[in-house]
Amino acid sequence: MLLKTLFSKVATGLGYFLIFGVALYALAYFLPGYQPGFLTNKPLGNLFWRTVFFTHVGLGAVALSLGPFQFSRQLRQRRVGLHRRLGKLYVFSILVASVAAFCAAWFASTGWVAAVGFAGLATAWFYTTFRAYRAIRQGQIRSHQEWMFRSYAATLSAVTLRIILPVELAVFHLPFSMAYPIVAWLCWIPNLVFVEWWLSRRNRANTAGVVWNG
Ligand code: HEM
């Protein structure tokens, strides 16, 4: 029991570290003079690309950072007004960032396989978030919560991408031209499959009378 609690605390701490670490990493793009290697082969002179790229990076970082607060049961129960306001900011950020990411996808490094992967993710990001918002406007709390889990699983692709890509490059020694198109799909499909499995397990447990702390 003690080991289980310790494990869950370490896992939560690591999760927050990765979430806020990736959000800060993204926000670094707004520092004056910041020139990461990623930008070397990008169409920096193209105003359309610059607008959609930086819009998605900035608002993506906002959405990613809001997740831990929005899923906190304490915050939802004690500060429902704050949950609503941050929720609106989360939905707004994603609806705009996903359209921007969809546009940025067609400029992705390595070509069309990566482009279609990112465009698919952008579509799933928009759709799951829109469904979550529509559900709460219709007063369907359970459906809202389930769609928000799916939405955040898509948001977390920003984290999974930055775990999988270095593993592909450093452990499997894949060339970037192969690793990148693979990660453009692998960063989000397993997240959505996992959340479906987890939700169905939770629903089965609820039917059997076990109360979940969701
Ligand atoms: C979940 C939906 C998302 C989609 C569809 C998406 C799409 C993209 C695309 C198409 C690129 C450009 C890739 C290229 O040109 O090769 C990119 C890069 C980037 N994205 Fe996202 N993104 C998403 C979420 C996020 C989030 C939540 C963040 C915030 C943390 C984020 C931060 C970045 C950063 C910092 C880059 C620059 C690449 C790097 O430095 O690694 N993205 N994204």
pLDDT of residue 112: 98
Tokens representing 204 are 């089965």
Tokens representing 81 are 């007004």
Local mean pLDDT, 10-residue blocks, the chain (214 residues)? 83 96 98 92 95 98 97 93 97 98 97 98 98 98 97 98 98 98 98 98 81 53
Closest of 34, 50, 157 to residue 100, by C-alpha: 50
User: Where would I find the H helices in 73-111?
Assistant: 73-78, 80-105
What single DSSP character describes residue 29?
G
Q: Is residue 156 part of a domain?
A: yes
pLDDT of residue 5: 85
Full domain range(s) for residue 148: 17-31+43-205
Tokens representing 74 are 């304490």
What single DSSP character describes residue 168?
I
Q: Is residue 8 part of a domain?
A: no
Domain count, the chain: 1
pTM of the model: 0.94
Decide whether any atom of ligand 1 lies within 6 Å of the 135 Cβ: no
Decide whether any atom of ligand 1 lies within 6 Å of the 94 Cβ: no
pLDDT of residue 65: 98
Q: Which amino acid is at 204?
A: R
Q: Is residue 76 part of a domain?
A: yes
Q: Is residue 214 part of a domain?
A: no
Q: How much distance in Å is there from the Cα of 174 to the middle of ligand 1? A: 21
